[in-house]
Amino acid sequence: MRVPAALRLDYVSPASYRAAGWQDVLGIACFDDGAMQADDIPVAQVNTRVLAGAPPVLEVWRCAERAVSGRHGRVHFRRSAELLFGCIAVTEAHGATARREAGGGGFAAAASTLHEATTLAYHEICATLDTQGCPHLLRVWNYLPDINREAQGIERYRQFNTARQHALRACGRAHTGRVPAASALGAASDGPLVVYFLASRTAPAFVENPRQVSAYNYPRQYGPHSPAFSRATLLQEADRVTLFISGTASIVGHHSLHAGDPGAQTRETLNNIEALLAEANRTASGAQFSLRSLACKAYVRRPVDLPVIRAALSEALGAESEVVYLQADICRGDLLVEVEATAQSGIGGHP
């Protein structure tokens, strides 16, 4: 059986990307409001502000082998023999139009415009995976406008969770257990729902945090349908394993802790990440993941909290750690910071 070619993640400026001249790029996420064009390479344009006066940041995924691009509906993708990167942007107006064109098929009755946009996005993502023979979602990033705002009597993040779960079920996919690592963050009010994702021909391993209730088992106090993601996933490669840590925050069990204290929330978030690293090292025999091996994105609700959050992360991760700081609303209104991470570790004697 073939194993995926080495996956690689780089955070670079647009100028550094152009200078690098990489030939093995799978896809790009561009943060801030600067548009990015990259020939036929899919680019997810994410409207979240890069903090501390930094320029726009590109999140570049590479695969160490030739890749080809394509489109399926609204999904722009690029794939190698084993891996696929894809992205889709759906305005809520487009979601409503798709509902009318489908005659309601696949859409919930009296659904919100966000529900319709989410349903459309996930149906097209699942169809892309099926047609391209990369059925296993590894990691998904979701950015939705006004994530904490209430509409039609329910928070928009909870609307999103309901729509995502309904769409996964309709497409014959799991919504508990064997589900990808994921994040869901707020984005600019006037923007589309943006989703980008990594998928593989090879199924990952799924990792849960012993300090937390699995998100897909949350009680109904967090909404009528639970979030459909694992706390982390592990992708076995030829001589290494790649760890994708979902958006992680100051939650123990299923309760948010340290309300109003960004420093304490950051430290609790790091406790959760350390617990996931221990589980990942246990699951992937021979792996040696550590805090110092992580490349992170930190989402900060209130820019004024950035110095405290950055100091706590620098102390734990090391002053030379790779962290991109973005301003974004978090999925719960009482959470001030969320951290996601990616890491690689050699196995079987490989560095």
- Nearest-5° angle of CA 152, CA 154, CA 156? 95
The answer to whether residues 328 and 298 touch, using CB atoms and an 8 Å cutoff, is no
Backbone angle region of 52, left / alpha / beta, with phi > 0 → left and psi within -120 to 50 → alpha: left
**b vs e for 67-84, b when ≥16 Cβ sit within 10 Å of the residue's Cβ?**
beebebebbbbbbbebbb
CA distances from 293 to 243, 263, 268, 322 (A): 10, 22, 19, 9
Joined together, the tokens standing for residue 40 give: 């036929």
How many Å apart are CA 212 and CA 272, to the nearest integer?
8
Residue whose tokens read 């004024």: 304
Task: Note the maximum CA span of the chain.
Answer: 57
Catalytic residue (one of 237, 268, 338, 340): 338
- Cα–Cα nearest to 87, from 200, 196, 194: 196
The answer to whether residues 341 and 294 touch, using CB atoms and an 8 Å cutoff, is yes
How many Å apart are CA 211 and CA 152, to the nearest integer?
34
Residue whose tokens read 């040696």: 288
Question: Looking at the chain, how many residues does it have?
Answer: 351
The answer to whether residues 96 and 89 touch, using CB atoms and an 8 Å cutoff, is no
Q: How far is CA 150 from the centre of its chain?
A: 23
How many Å apart are CA 59 and CA 28, to the nearest integer?
5
- Nearest-5° angle of CA 207, CA 87, CA 234? 15
Known catalytic residue: 315?
no
| Residues noted as catalytic | 338
